[in-house]
Amino acid sequence: MLHLRVIASPEQSANVIDLLAAEPGVTHLVVLPGVARQPPGDLIQFDVVRESADRVLQELRRMGVDDTGGIAADDVELTVSAAADRAAERAPGSGADAVVWDEIAAKTGEQTELSGTYLVLIVVATMIAGIGVLLDQPILIVGAMVVGPEFGPLAALCVALLRRRLDVIGRSVLALTVGFMAAMAVTVLSTWALTAAGLVSREMLLAERPLTDFIWRPDALSWVVGLLAGVAGMLSLTSKKSGSLVGVLISVTTVPAAANVAVAAAYGVWDEAGGSALQLVINLCAIVLAGLLTLVVQQVWWWGLARRSRRPATG
């Protein structure tokens, strides 16, 4: 359930109240006329079940409430109310499967910022993976996958493609491109520094590495894993299942592939660098394709559910 605070102008307030009163998924409706000062208007607060939230937000924006007033939403972790239970029963669909598109767009939009924290995380993750490649240590590879922040821009890219947001598409691609290029460049330098210190060597890269050689040897299963991870990642994002998202992060070799490109390039092993680069491209494309298709299926599903719920009873 979501708790929404709406500031509506006096001209809009009556229509907003009528909309909310008629919506079966809305409950705990409170109206405080004239209390809002910036911007001026009426303060309207209410709770709405997640399966109805997207429809309510769309209607509020269609009325222009976001232009003359404002809309804010918070998650409600606990609600003890018979009225809330009745609202959940009346609303079509399941709250666990509901997608609130404005919430997803806002959440993923924040992940496209090319911030210092993002760059540090992806650089550190790639350096950890580079050491893991040389030592043939899967636990370091897994740790690098968890640290890597690249799924944020990937998810934002999927949402932006669906909603045709060219500005978000550009920021997502920029964050991914700059992030991976910077991470690989720093990993090349760190590999040279570790080699000069006698901690690693070219022979370690050329040696048999049965536990991590999959990183630079892409095959048909690379596409399969990438597609499955894209589906799981997008579902975990839209359904707020953070535990599933962690599983996605440690299932696809994006950061490790970038690290292997950097380490192999540092030692001039270009065939391995090329294989790792192909692995990276395959996984990135598979995640975006699967994520976008997952969002399309979810959108079509909820459109059909909304149409069935509005269809008048016959017979």
Cβ contacts of 100 within 8 Å, gap of 6 or more? 2, 50, 53, 54, 57, 73
- Which long-range contacts does 267-276 make (Cβ < 8 Å, 24+ apart)? 267/191, 267/202, 267/205, 269/202, 269/205, 269/206, 272/205, 272/216, 273/216, 275/216, 275/217, 275/218, 276/215, 276/216
Residue 310 lies in a domain: no
- Residue 315 is predicted with a pLDDT of 38
280 and 138 share a domain?
Answer: yes
Of 96, 118, 145, the residue at which a domain comes to its end is 96
Residue 309 lies in a domain: no
232 and 109 share a domain?
Answer: yes
222 and 285 share a domain?
Answer: yes
Structure confidence by residue, pLDDT tens digits, 87-103: 888 876 666 667 787 77
39 and 129 share a domain?
Answer: no
Q: How many CB atoms lie within 10 A of CB 288?
A: 19
Residue 314 lies in a domain: no
Which residues of the chain register pLDDT less than 50? 244, 312-315
Which residue range(s) make up the domain with 61?
2-96
- Residue 246 is predicted with a pLDDT of 54
251 and 215 share a domain?
Answer: yes
Q: How many CB atoms lie within 10 A of CB 93?
A: 19
Residue 312 lies in a domain: no
- Residue 307 is predicted with a pLDDT of 64
Give CA–CA dist 76/48, Å, rounded: 10
Residue 311 lies in a domain: no
Of 61, 96, 131, the residue at which a domain comes to its end is 96
pTM for the structure as a whole? 0.78
Cβ atoms of 292 and 162 closer than 8 Å = yes
Helix 255-266 vs helix 270-310: crossing angle, to nearest 10 = 160
- Residue 95 is predicted with a pLDDT of 60
272 and 173 share a domain?
Answer: yes
Total domains in the fold of the chain: 2
Helix 242-249 vs helix 151-163: crossing angle, to nearest 10 = 110
56 and 182 share a domain?
Answer: no
Q: What is the CATH number of the domain that holds 36?
A: 3.30.70.120
38 and 83 share a domain?
Answer: yes
Of the candidates 183, 113, 193, 181, the one whose C-alpha atom is nearest the C-alpha of residue 148 is: 183
Of 96, 125, 143, the residue at which a domain comes to its end is 96
Residue 313 lies in a domain: no
70 and 148 share a domain?
Answer: no
Structure confidence by residue, pLDDT tens digits, 9-44: 989 999 999 999 988 889 999 999 999 998 999 999
Give backbone dihedrals phi and psi of 252, rounded to 5 degrees, phi first: -125, 135
